[in-house]
């Protein structure tokens, strides 16, 4: 893998994580309009699917819609894990927990990814990777502001939050299976959105969606479009693209930068000035990413 491809892949994963870090803002807003977690996920998935599918057809990339029957199970896995395990449980976690605790619980995903990728894809569990993993998770905990917040533990909320972390891990694993079989990252995404939408369809409250759009059409349509673009379409495309060139475990650890985004958005939108502990957490997350990208004598990538 050349240096330019590596730089693009790393930038793509970090950009995806930053976008995911903003999901809480959309979920909280749509929750106030009466949207259920599954309705939120459905809107995000279906709009992303329509846009991506239209783009593939418009730019004559219909060949990317072709998959083998024997590989359908992989795309069912990416679709269900992204829609149900990740998006649904994270939305529920945001509502059941504080935003800080929800982000910490989601940050458990790299642990599952690293230890699952070892037997499944023969990715080495190195001392550097484990060190970066622990530093990144510690940084997420400090960045979230959960320590010293006085927030009470909600057993159900914690369980749901951990499931969201597992969902992220499972999506990464299934995506790796698809990429290893030669599928393009866009193929993975378009079928993930399609299957995810179908999974949420029976549980979507269309009456609430219609009422919210009818009340303020311009604002709600813009909000739903932006939610789909930033919450699903762009980050999933960028993250899956990055997986083509970066080990699954490494990409998962790097994605731990999303709580940093949440903090920066809080400072910019709500004038929430981060504490010293929060700043220290941001520094630890950045340190972990830097540690993973230190030059080494022998480098490995999924394409080598």
Whole-angstrom distance, CA of residue 200 vs CA of residue 43: 9
pLDDT attached to residue 21: 78
Structure tokens at 217: 């059409």
Mean pLDDT of the chain: 85
Percent of the chain scoring above 70 in pLDDT: 89
CB 37 within 8 A of CB 88: yes
Q: How far apart are CA 47 and CA 53, in angstroms?
A: 10
227 φ, ψ (degrees, to nearest 5): -60, -40
Confidence of residue 298 (pLDDT cuts 50, 70, 90): very low
Closest to 167 in 3D by CA, of 224, 274, 93, 61: 93
Q: What angle do CA 168, 38, 113 make, to 5 degrees?
A: 5
Average of per-residue pLDDT across 252-267 = 76
Whether residue 304 is predicted with pLDDT greater than 70 in this model: the reply is no
Q: How confident is the model at residue 86 (pLDDT cuts 50, 70, 90)?
A: confident
The pLDDT, as a whole number, for residue 100 is 66
pLDDT score for 299: 42
CB 259 within 8 A of CB 144: yes
């Amino acid at each position: 893998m050349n240096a330019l491809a590596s730089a693009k892949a790393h930038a793509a994963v970090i950009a995806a994580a930053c976008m995911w870090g903003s999901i809480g803002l959309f979920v909280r807003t749509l929750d106030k309009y009466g949207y259920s977690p599954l309705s939120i996920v459905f809107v995000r998935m279906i709009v992303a699917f329509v846009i991506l599918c239209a783009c593939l057809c418009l730019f004559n990339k219909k060949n990317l819609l072709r998959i083998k029957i024997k590989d359908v199970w992989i795309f069912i896995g990416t679709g269900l894990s992204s829609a149900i395990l990740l998006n649904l449980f994270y939305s529920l976690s945001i509502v059941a927990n504080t935003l800080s605790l929800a982000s910490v619980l989601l940050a458990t995903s790299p642990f599952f990814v690293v230890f699952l990728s070892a037997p499944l894809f023969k990715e080495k569990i190195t001392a550097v990777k484990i060190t970066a993993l622990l530093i990144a998770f510690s940084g997420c905990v400090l960045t979230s502001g959960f320590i010293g917040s006085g927030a009470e533990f909600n057993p159900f909320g914690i369980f749901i939050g951990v499931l969201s972390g597992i969902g992220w891990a499972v999506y990464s694993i299934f995506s790796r299976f698809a990429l290893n079989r030669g599928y393009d990252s866009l193929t993975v995404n378009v079928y993930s959105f399609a299957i995810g939408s179908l999974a949420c369809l029976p549980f979507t409250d269309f009456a609430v969606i219609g009422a919210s759009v009818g009340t303020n059409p311009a604002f709600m349509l813009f909000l739903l479009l932006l939610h789909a673009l930033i919450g699903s379409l762009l980050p999933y495309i960028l993250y899956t693209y990055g997986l083509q060139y970066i080990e699954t475990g490494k990409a998962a650890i790097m994605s731990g930068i999303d709580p940093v985004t949440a903090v920066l958005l809080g400072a910019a939108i709500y004038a929430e000035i981060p504490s010293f502990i929060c700043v220290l957490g941001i520094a630890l997350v950045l340190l972990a990413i830097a540690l993973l990208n230190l030059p080494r004598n022998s480098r490995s990538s999924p394409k080598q």
